[in-house]
Chain A
Amino acid sequence: MTFSINGEKFDSEPRAGQSLRTFIRDQKHFEVKKGCDTGDCGACSVLVDGTPVHSCVYPAFRAAGKDVTTAAGLGMPGYLSAVQQRFVDHAAFQCGFCTAGMVVTASTFDDEDLAELPRLLKGNLCRCTGYRAIHEAIDHVHTDSCGVELEPGAEAPKSRTTPVIKTGPRASVGTSVTAPASERVVSGQEPFTLDIAIPGLLHLVVLKSPHAHARITAIDTRRASALPGVHAVLTHEHSPDTLFSTARHESRLDDPDDTLVLDSVVRFRGQRVAAVVAESVGIAEAAARLIEIDYEVLPAVFDPHLSTLDGAPSIHGDKNGTTSRIVDPQRNLVAELHGEYGDVAAGLAGAAHTITGTWQTQRVAHTHLETHATIGWIDEDERLVLRTSSQVPFLVQTEICRLFDRDPSTVRVFTARVGGGFGGKQEILTEDLVSLAVLTTGRAVQYEFTREDEFTLSPTRHPMEVQVTLGADAGGLLTAMKVELLSDTGAYGNHGPGTMYHSCSESVSLYNVPNKRVDARCVYTNNVPSGAFRGYGLGQVIFAIESALDELARSVGVDPFELRRLNSVTPSDPLIVTHVEGDDLILGGYGLDQCIDLAEQALARGNSTVAPAGPEWRVGRGMASSMIATMPPRGHFSEVTVTADADGAYTVGVGTAEFGNGTTTVHTQLAASALSTSPSRIRVRQSDTDAARYDTGAFGSAGTVVAGKAVLAAAESLARDLRQLAAERTQTAPDAWTLDDGVLVSAEHRLSIAELVGPDGLTATANEDGARRSIAFNVHAFRVAVNTRTGEVLILQSVQTADAGFMLNPAQLRGQIEGGVAQAIGTALYEEVINDGEGTVLTTVLRNYHIPQISDLPVTEVYFADTHDPLGPFGAKSMSEAPYNPVAPALANAITDAIGRRPMELPMSRDRIWRLLQD
């Protein structure tokens, strides 16, 4: 059939059941993305003869004779359409995976539509931004970070963010430089993981376990293998027998070795049993249906309370606890922590007020819009190459080498732009199978998760049950804090131990309490595995502790802000969980006091939003604090090069990945500042084991404070080397020279840097080891109205204050905070991966797992403490996980204030709030 894309004619036949989305991608128009493949997220939006549709649910054959318009048809880099330019100008994307579909949709709006944006944008989901910037880009109104809509040119009331500015002039740290990829992102031209055409590409499809716990007794792949177009059928018989962990950390010893690429025992419903590699997804699916398997169904356990009891099935009973690093494989105990500081019994005995309660958090899905995916091939140097959607390419490389017994020089791992991560891509979920398939077939192989795979196979946030007991004197001064934690890691250990330890760290050490006790356990069940999620366990325990503190404030009769002032650590206090924390942690550039003050003032000031009329609406206020170390413990490494190139530009080689965190922008700014040049002269080669020597990875909020610090140091070193070189050439002193946008200038001379360095360029290297860590604080406050008849929670005012240190890029920083708040509001009010209690996930499509739409989110007022970190580059702190953590408890506390009943579990959905009010 004939049809056109952006005016270009095509003559091509779709398959009978093909969707327009994949058909357009077959024509190498990769600007249509797959977020859900069910018509829910809008990442694949296109116009068909001017009518906007979700191309994933549009039959391809219906495009015959029609004109299809994608984001690229609206405008391209250099000549963007007005709406695309506004998305650039307002920094209206982070990972950018939703953006092409978002601008296509927005391109159809007229002025009358602007009043209906909540409805018109409900089919365009953004997981990163929280929508404020998108809303601004569409209706072109600037909302200041204090939440006030500004007329053009009007002065912002008391705010420290700056408008977004274009890359070009000599702008660098401290200004809101746009992301270098902006123009490509808004036109769909920035490639993500699968946005590449590889001739002869094979596709991998996985056969999944129908049982929660079973042993494979026989597997017959003959019929599957015989299907034309099938290149390999892989089962546990082909799997390396090396145990590993899907979780990745700087030290692989952090995570339990309990996983095989393909195992003869399956431990959760949906676990991979076999993989088919074939010439198309359709053939692979058909072959997978032909695999015959006999299972011996084993007893299973789904309740974490029951899994460590006598008689429960041992899920990893075949493992050696010592070599796999599992505390007690027979009893399903992965990790535990028991410790006491002072004497909690005594602290409670003497307390005038005692608060105790048990809080429960749910499974949350990261819902990064780009699903997990890897393409692997053998390159001309016979190396195994993996192009993958990962936060940790270097850690993937080392573990793939270990699994397949290869030297690191024979494996290259890299990422294109990554479509969101939130911790979900600090995990090997596709790379191992693709490696096995490529090494078996010698061909290029692609494995792409479906959205259903994301919900049913990929790890969720750990559900945790947290019991907190607080004791305080008559004035509210804490005398005892006891935390008891049960974390369900599911069928595999991966991030279970790490999140368990972290969950009880800064949540507990934030408060000065003379007597503390922590008893934490992380246990196996036959549920879908849990994994790393923004905040890494901390948010679950912060939800409990900050809720308990709110109860304490009520009991004592003291204002909750005041209670925090009374009990929070100050720079002169030690950080204590069950003992004084290591001296790698410093309370540098302390900003908690300012955060508390700013939040309290904003809440007192209020805003113009009033509660709906009617006796059923009750209004309440609440707040919560959080503290987080600015990077993970025990070292986080980055080795960076900055090169002055022969063409007069600079190339930064850095290992960390861009997945919406904005680190590429920040690294560009840092290098531009150190080299006194414009950001447009900086190229960043990143997240590629070929492009940089090493980087632990983009997790633990390390992109700015580790990799960024190394970029700054390398750029500064290069600047010194260039001055030295100029001095040597001219027999002058290095101090006589300054860099100035591509040239070196002294009182007498002016040298072109390109000429100075010659054809080979000049490279400087720097390392950062993350040996010393700092602390950042966030406070969130809400005013809400609750409908006592329906359980509806309306957010009337949302305020977050952040101790972010120096603001390297204020607009991006604000965006990170807004995005963290948005994701946390999703966790607090809406999101839940529902499980039937027997290991089957019921929420398998996006429409049944509600991530916030534009209509669900308020504009959050964002205020920054005026602090300067002694460790971070230019005094900056990390601020990517942090803003998520205080939101759920602040909301719970506000709801409690409104209705006089306390929500004890997440999400605080309307039906749960309504039920709270019934007895």
Chain B
Amino acid sequence: MDLNTVNRVIPARSRADLGELGEGAVPLAGGSVLFAEPNPSIHTLIDLQTLGWEPFVISDDGLEVAATATLTQLSTLPDDRGWRAHPLFYQCCTALFGSFKVWNVATVGGNICTALPAGPMTSLFSALDAEALIWRADGSDVRIPVSELVTGNTTTSLNSGDVLRSLHVAARSLGSATAYRKIALSAIGRSGAVVIGRFDPVDESFVLTVSAATVRPEQLRFAGLPTASELRTAIEGIGTWFTDAHGAADWRLAVSVVLGEEIRLELTGAAR
């Protein structure tokens, strides 16, 4: 929709241009969120796409994904490195409510910073224990786990003027076995729960990330694969289930238990 209060677009060319961010001046990535809701307090858009960030930087350390990488780019990232976790990139893109035409513009960083419970990039990068590189407004850099960046339904730990620069996925995470489940109130509707399991073959640890069903991503960590009842008890111990048009809190808990168990079984197979 038209943002009728916006009177200025600043194409950012360097980090210094981000100094314009502040009250009423917001970063613009793909635009699929900003242009989808009225917000009369916005007068300036600072275009991040003109920064020209490389979408992917691959090193021995792992994978650095620019915040401005689109979901289309992420979903078509070549599978040529032997990453066991590679299928998760495409799987999580399919959890976006938006169509493949939204994937063409929507960005990884935009999805995380919007901080909707059903944000599939939050699910993905939390499940991979990725670290977010934040460009603080004061010029400093800080890295924090994605699962801590999103603090609630549409809230983040970002301050005004901070920009999410990139997401770093460690090689260890990329080498993990993953299992993905999503459920909605309709076949491929907006997610009611996205549950992702990750089994690390190096130390045999297991982490289950519950998202979309809870106001923020919840992670359950186990030194080894849990038993069915251990996993169930842990999921039932989560306290941030919520109710909205995409499912009631009690149902979200129940289906997360069902999906968690499916994941446990799948990864038990993968661990053998």
Assess whether A42 is interfacial by the CB under 8 Å rule.
Answer: yes
Once the chains bind, are B250 and A850 in contact (CB under 8 Å)?
no
Minimum CB–CB distance for A392 against chain B, Å: 29
Residues from chain A with a CB closer than 8 A to the CB of B183 are 790, 792, 910
Q: Is the CB of A285 within 8 A of B1?
A: no
Q: Is A51 an interface residue (CB 8 A)?
A: yes
Residue of B nearest to A790 (CB): B255
Q: How far is the CA of A910 from the CA of B42 in the complex (A)?
A: 38
Q: Which of A123, A830, A834 has the most CB of B within 10 A?
A: A123
Task: Pick from A14-22, A457-465, A883-891 the stretch touching chain B.
Answer: A14-22
Which chain B residues lie closer than 8 Å to A914 at the CB level?
251, 254-255
A59 near B28: Cβ-Cβ < 8 Å: yes
Q: Is there contact, CB below 8 Å, between B250 and A915?
A: yes
Query: Which positions 397-419 of chain A face chain B at CB distance < 8 Å?
Result: none
Do B185 and A911 touch across chains, with their CB atoms under 8 A apart? yes
Q: Considering the complex, give the chain B residue whose CB is closest to the CB of A289.
A: B40
**Contact flags B1-39 to A (C-beta < 8 A → 1, else 0):** 111111111000000000000000000100110011100
Q: Which of B238-263 contact A (CB under 8 A)?
A: 244-248, 250-252, 254-255, 258
Tell me whether chain B's interface is mostly helix, strand or loop, or mixed: loop
A45 contacts B by Cβ under 8 Å: yes
Contacts of A16 in B (CB 8 A): 3, 6-9, 45
- B190 CB to closest chain A CB (Å) equals 6
A829 at the binding interface (Cβ < 8 Å):
yes
B98 at the interface (CB under 8 A from A): yes
Quick check: B45 and A853 within 8 Å, CB to CB?
no
| Contact (Cβ within 8 A) A17 B188 | no
B151 at the interface (CB under 8 A from A): no
A:265-300 near B, CB below 8 Å: 280-282, 285-286, 289
Assess whether B81 is interfacial by the CB under 8 Å rule.
Answer: no
Chain B interface size, under 10 / 10 to 19 / 20 to 34 / 35 or more: 35 or more
Cα distance, A900 to B1, chains bound together (Å): 47
Shortest Cβ distance from A281 into B: residue: B4
Residues of B within 8 A of A258 (CB): none
Choose one: B5, B37, B104, B248; the contact of A38 (CB below 8 Å): B37
A-facing mask of B97-124, CB < 8 A → 1, else 0? 1111110110000000000000000000
Contacting residues of chain A (44-87) with chain B, CB-CB under 8 angstroms: 45, 51-54, 56-59, 61-62
Contacts of A105 in B (CB 8 A): 101
| Contact call B99/A17, Cβ cutoff below 8 A | no
From A17, A57, A122, A832, give the contact of B105 (CB < 8 A).
Answer: A57
- Residue in B32, B99, B190 whose Cβ sees the most chain A Cβ within 10 Å: B99
Return the contact of A39 from the options B32, B247, B252 (Cβ within 8 A).
B32
Interface string of A830-865 (1 = CB under 8 A from B): 101010000000110101111011011000000000
B188 x A122 contact (CB < 8 A): yes
B159, CB-defined interface residue at 8 Å: no
Complex: how many Å from CA A912 to CA B253? 14
Report yes or no: B99 in contact with A15, Cβ–Cβ below 8 A.
Answer: no
> Cβ of A53: which chain B residues have Cβ within 8 Å of it?
101, 104-105
Contact with A along B178-207 (1 / 0, CB 8 A): 000001011111101000000000000000
Docked complex Cα distance between A910 and B104 (Å): 31
Q: Does B94 sit within 8 A of A, measured CB to CB? A: yes
Q: What are the residues of chain B within 8 A of A830 when measuring CB–CB? A: 185-186, 189
In the bound complex, residues from chain A placing their C-beta under 8 Å from that of B186 are 829-830, 850, 852-853, 855-856
B188 and A285 form a contact (CB under 8 A): no
Choose among A37, A842, A849 the residue with the greatest number of B CB atoms under 10 Å from its CB.
A37
Tell me the bound Cα distance from A258 to B183 in angstroms: 45
CB pair A281–B31 under 8 Å, yes or no, is: no
Residue contact A59 to B190, C-beta cutoff 8 Å: no
B101 & A54 in contact (Cβ 8 Å cutoff): yes
Q: Is the CB of B45 within 8 A of A119?
A: no
Q: Which residue from A17, A51, A52, A915 sits with its C-beta under 8 Å from B45?
A: A17
**Among candidates B3, B32, B99, residue contacting A122 with C-beta atoms closer than 8 Å:** B99
Residues of B with C-beta under 8 A to A306:
none
Interchain CB contact under 8 A, B98 and A39: yes
Pairwise interchain contact A57-B99, C-beta atoms closer than 8 A: no
- Contact assessment for B250 and A282 in the assembled complex, using a CB-CB cutoff below 8 Å: no
Known: A122-B188, A915-B248. A57 touches B36 (CB 8 A): yes
> CB distance A285 to B32 under 8 Å?
no
A124 located at the interface, meaning its Cβ lies under 8 Å from any Cβ of chain B in the complex? yes
Q: Are A54 and B99 in contact (CB under 8 A)?
A: yes
Taking the complex as formed, is A789 at the interface, i.e. its CB lies under 8 A from any CB of chain B? yes
Q: Is the CB of B99 within 8 A of A42?
A: yes
- Contact: A57 with B247, CB < 8 Å? no
Name B100's contact: one of A37, A119, A856 (CB within 8 Å): A119
Contact across chains for A56 and B35 when beta carbons are under 8 A apart: yes
Q: Which residue of B lies closest to A38 (CB)?
A: B36
Rounded to whole angstroms, the CA-CA distance of A431 and B236 in the bound complex is 54
Give the nearest-CB partner of B101 in chain A. Answer: A52
Q: How far is the CA of A281 from the CA of B3 in the complex (A)?
A: 10
The answer to whether A147 has its CB under 8 Å from any CB of chain B is no
Shortest A261–chain B CB gap in Å is: 25
Residues of chain B within 8 A of A37, CB atoms compared: 1, 36
Contacts of A442 in B (CB 8 A): none
Contact partners of A843 in chain B: CB under 8 A: 245
A54-B8 contact in complex given A17-B45, A914-B251, C-beta closer than 8 Å: no
Q: A38 CA to B98 CA in the complex, in Å?
A: 10
Q: Knowing A850-B189, A910-B247, A911-B185 are in contact, say whether A22-B2 is a contact too (CB < 8 A).
A: yes
A834 and B245 form a contact (CB under 8 A): yes
Whether B35 and A123, one on each chain, are in contact in the complex, defined by CB atoms closer than 8 angstroms, is no
Contacts of A58 in B (CB 8 A): 31, 35, 105
Q: Give CA–CA (A53, B6) in the complex, Å.
A: 22
Of the residues A17, A849, A910, A915, contact of B3 by C-beta under 8 Å: A17
CA distance A119 to B93 in the complex (A): 11
Question: Are B99 and A124 touching (Cβ within 8 A)?
Answer: yes
Q: Are A57 and B35 in contact (CB under 8 A)?
A: yes
Q: A38 to B6, Cβ gap below 8 A?
A: no
Tell me if B4 and A286 are in contact (CB < 8 A). Answer: yes
The interface residues of chain A lying within 8 Å CB-to-CB of B36 are 37-39, 56-57, 845
Q: How far is the CB of A901 from chain B (nearest CB, A)?
A: 15
Chain B residues closer than 8 Å to A856, beta-carbon distance: 186-187
When chains A and B are docked, how far (Å) is the Cα of A852 from the Cα of B9? 37
Give the residues in chain A near B246, CB-CB below 8 Å.
Answer: 848
Q: Let me know if A855 and B187 touch, CB within 8 A.
A: yes
CA distance A886 to B156 in the complex (A): 47
Known: A118-B188, A914-B254. A832 touches B1 (CB 8 A): no
Asked if A197 lies at the interface with its beta carbon under 8 angstroms from chain B, I say no
A847 and B32 form a contact (CB under 8 A): no
Q: In the complex the two chains form, is B101's CB within 8 Å of A42's CB?
A: yes
Contacts of B185 in A (CB 8 A): 830, 850, 909-911
- B101 near A45 with CB under 8 A, answer yes
- Measured between beta carbons, the chain A residues less than 8 angstroms from B250 are 911, 915
Binding site for B on A (CB under 8 A): 15-19, 22, 37-40, 42, 45, 51-54, 56-59, 61-62, 105, 118-124, 280-282, 285-286, 289, 450, 789-792, 829-830, 832, 834, 842-843, 845, 847-850, 852-853, 855-856, 909-911, 914-915
Give residues in B with beta carbon < 8 Å to A. 1-9, 28, 31-32, 35-37, 40, 42, 45, 49, 94, 97-102, 104-105, 183, 185-190, 192, 244-248, 250-252, 254-255, 258
The 10 A-B residue pairs whose C-beta atoms are closest, nearest first, are: A123-B99, A17-B6, A17-B3, A282-B4, A911-B251, A37-B1, A38-B36, A57-B35, A911-B248, A855-B187
A-B contact pairs, 29 of them (CB 8 A): A16-B6, A16-B9, A16-B45, A17-B7, A18-B2, A19-B35, A22-B2, A40-B98, A42-B99, A45-B101, A52-B104, A53-B104, A57-B1, A57-B35, A58-B105, A59-B31, A119-B94, A280-B4, A281-B2, A282-B5, A829-B186, A830-B189, A832-B245, A848-B244, A848-B245, A852-B186, A911-B192, A911-B247, A915-B251
Q: A17-B4, A120-B100, A849-B245 are in contact. List 17 more A-B contacts (CB 8 A).
A: A15-B2, A45-B101, A52-B100, A54-B99, A57-B35, A119-B94, A450-B1, A789-B258, A830-B186, A830-B189, A842-B245, A853-B187, A853-B188, A909-B185, A911-B192, A911-B250, A915-B250
